[in-house]
Structure 1
Amino acid sequence: MWLSWRPKRSLALVESKDGFHWSEPPRLVLGPNKETGWEDDINRPIVIKRSDGYHLWYTGQAKGHSSLGYATSSDGLNWNRMSSKAVLSADQPWEKVAVMCPHVLWDEHTRLFRLWYSGGEQNEPNAIGYATSPDGLHWKKHEANPIFKPDPNLTWEKHKVTACQVLRRGDWHLMFYIGFSDEAHAQIGLARSKDGITGWQRLSTNPIIGPSLPESRTTSSAFTPEPRTGPSATPDWDHDACYKPFAIYDGSKWLLWYNGRHAGVEQIGVAIHLGEDLGF
């Protein structure tokens, strides 16, 4: 798992054989570069592996702005930045001062990298955009961006939607995303689209993950958070916000890792959904 190591303003790697018990301490794999002027702090990575190695996109932050950077690696540990300049920056009105939270898929048929990203304000971006690239460096933003916006009729996500993960499953693209009811409170939702761009259908039972305390839940959740253990574990560790989802299907169940926050403390947890059917 590649993650944001906030105290170091860097990206780090932890490893696990079961998805529940992870190596400690994190191993720093890419640090900030203040010389470029746009990545004093780096975070929010996405890594994909192809036959030619590992490809990483990440958020770089400096001077109240966020942009995306790109690096490659042969082993997932030692990374080479592919440009000293950001590969994607805020240049559209809806993007305001920030593009961040990249998620990338490689489309073998079209020979394109497909990017879903968040744009808007610096603290938490407002909506989700889409772009494509033949080389991971040069991106073309979709003319209809943002492709996914908050639904004002849904209390739990009426403020913002952001930081999605998109998966191909059969004929559908599944999107796991964060919905904010206000700036400080977030839960995780699920939507699907045939092309990953238009016609998004939200799961009727959203949100799928909310605070772990039963009295704090807004709906019956599709995923069940696993109890946290260890000295930092408390039953209300994700009381204020559940966000930054990343899910896989292992053949019998879905596992979804996410960040939980209570006050100023943010940690990573995992939730499980048995079976492949997510309820659409």
Structure 2
Amino acid sequence: MTAGIASLLSEFKLGRPVISGSGLPGSFDEKAVDCPFVFEHQGRYFMMYVGFDGIGYQTALAVSDNLTDWSFHGLILERERGSAWDSANAAGNWLLKEDRLDQPPLLKKWRGKYWMVYHSYPGEGYENGPGQIGIAWTEDDNLLQWNRSAEPVLSPFDGNGWEEGGLYKGCLIEHDDRFYLFYNAKNHRPEGQAWTEQTGLATSTDLIHWERYEGSPVLQVSGSGGWDSLFASDPFVVHDGNRWVMYYFGYNGRHAQEGIAFSDDLLHWSKHEEPIIRHGAPGELDEIHAHKPAVLLRDGVLYHYYCACRPYREGDPSNNNGEFRCITLAASESLA
């Protein structure tokens, strides 16, 4: 199943941020940026990403013509603009798009609208309280004005034990007239222990009503001591030839690193045993974590965006509780 993964790897790290938090007091991204999602629209490349200001998450777009230099385009999910369940946070994760890796990642419309998966936490602060997943939609070709669901479409309160602590990132795939929503979730923290995050699946025919797959979690953590022994999180699914590929990140309590898994049917997944992007050496941009993937192929080059973390240094543009957290890039060829 894991044979021939060389074409899916990105060994050359850019080594610099492509998007950083602004550090500007009161800005949506004052403290950090996170969770890249890159797509093509109207002849340009866009990145949807999340900003954190110490109060909560809000979601923005950046734009690029070369995939390495990005500029702010607009804020699309703001705090206090939704319903009660998502007024404190709104973290955009995925837009319905072309899923084949060998095709441009163009947005797709369904019933005349563009569709987004996002999630929200109920309280102010860093991921405070159990997260829930919602759906947003727009007819705005500029992608700046979005309508958000009045209620979450997936909640931990009616979920299973492995996910009852809260839901995180959603990944939305359309296949054979059915929607597949992959998402990572956590259990309740056992007394004196870290929680576990794993990846599950729900399906739908209308994007509003979802049925959990009974075989979830479809991507589970490894045994004790493994590089993904605590988290198998943030699914990013693409179709490659005759197989499905899931990029994800694993966490062992010290470092988060990027991994990859494979499936023939979107239901049953087999993980490659080793990380495909490892955390960096001391002093490097991703010294602490290299995680949260977004992948596309352009002109034969694989671009793998991810969130990089290292200890804050004097002169960094933003500081999130002693950590510098930014979005960076690795590729299958050198971008220097």
Find 1:112's aligned residue among 178, 200, 207. Answer: 178
Say whether 1:164 aligns with 2:216. Answer: no
Using CA pairs below 8 Å that are at least 6 residues apart, which structure has the higher relative contact order?
2
Over 3 Å counting, the alpha-carbon distance change for 1:46 and 1:147 in structure 2 is same
Q: Which residue of 1 aligns with 2:332?
A: 273
Q: Which residue of 2 aligns with 1:50?
A: 108
Find 1:79's aligned residue among 140, 146, 154. Answer: 146
Say whether 1:187 aligns with 2:257. Answer: yes
Counterpart code for 2:60: A
Say whether 1:36 aligns with 2:114. Answer: no
In the superposition, the TM-score normalised over structure 2's length comes to 0.69
Counterpart code for 2:113: G
Task: Name the SS for the 2:93 alignment partner.
Answer: strand
2 CA distance for matches of 1:129 and 1:85? 20
- Deviation sequence 1:240-267 (CA, Å, 0-9, x none): 0111101112241211000011132210
- Deviation sequence 1:128-158 (CA, Å, 0-9, x none): 0011111211111101111110111662111
Find 1:103's aligned residue among 150, 167, 171. Answer: 171
CA RMSD of aligned residues (A): 2.1
Over 3 Å counting, the alpha-carbon distance change for 1:56 and 1:256 in structure 2 is same
2 CA distance for matches of 1:142 and 1:154? 28
2 CA distance for matches of 1:136 and 1:32? 23
Post-superposition offset of 1:121: 4.8
Find 1:4's aligned residue among 46, 50, 53. Answer: 50
- Deviation sequence 1:29-77 (CA, Å, 0-9, x none): 1113477332211215211222323211101111411001111112221
- Deviation sequence 1:177-202 (CA, Å, 0-9, x none): 010011x420000111111211x222
| Seq. identity, % | 24
Post-superposition offset of 1:101: 0.4
Over 3 Å counting, the alpha-carbon distance change for 1:33 and 1:4 in structure 2 is same
Say whether 1:210 aligns with 2:303. Answer: no
Counterpart code for 2:144: L
Over 3 Å counting, the alpha-carbon distance change for 1:244 and 1:92 in structure 2 is same
Counterpart code for 1:53: K
Counterpart code for 2:108: R
2 CA distance for matches of 1:16 and 1:87? 32
Which protein is richer in strand relative to its size? Answer: 1
In the superposition, the TM-score normalised over structure 1's length comes to 0.82
Over 3 Å counting, the alpha-carbon distance change for 1:146 and 1:88 in structure 2 is same
Q: Which residue of 1 aligns with 2:310?
A: 262
CA contact (8 A) 2:161 2:187 kept: no
Over 3 Å counting, the alpha-carbon distance change for 1:60 and 1:124 in structure 2 is farther
Q: Which residue of 2 aligns with 1:21?
A: 69
Over 3 Å counting, the alpha-carbon distance change for 1:163 and 1:44 in structure 2 is farther
Over 3 Å counting, the alpha-carbon distance change for 1:36 and 1:121 in structure 2 is farther
Task: Name the SS for the 1:144 alignment partner.
Answer: coil
Q: Which residue of 1 aligns with 2:270?
A: 201
- Answer with 11-20 or 118-127: which moved more: 118-127
Q: Which residue of 1 aligns with 2:101?
A: none
Task: Name the SS for the 1:38 alignment partner.
Answer: helix
Counterpart code for 1:246: A
Task: Name the SS for the 2:252 alignment partner.
Answer: strand
Gaps of 5+ in 1: 217-234, 275-280
Post-superposition offset of 1:173: 0.6
- Deviation sequence 1:112-131 (CA, Å, 0-9, x none): 21110011158986100011
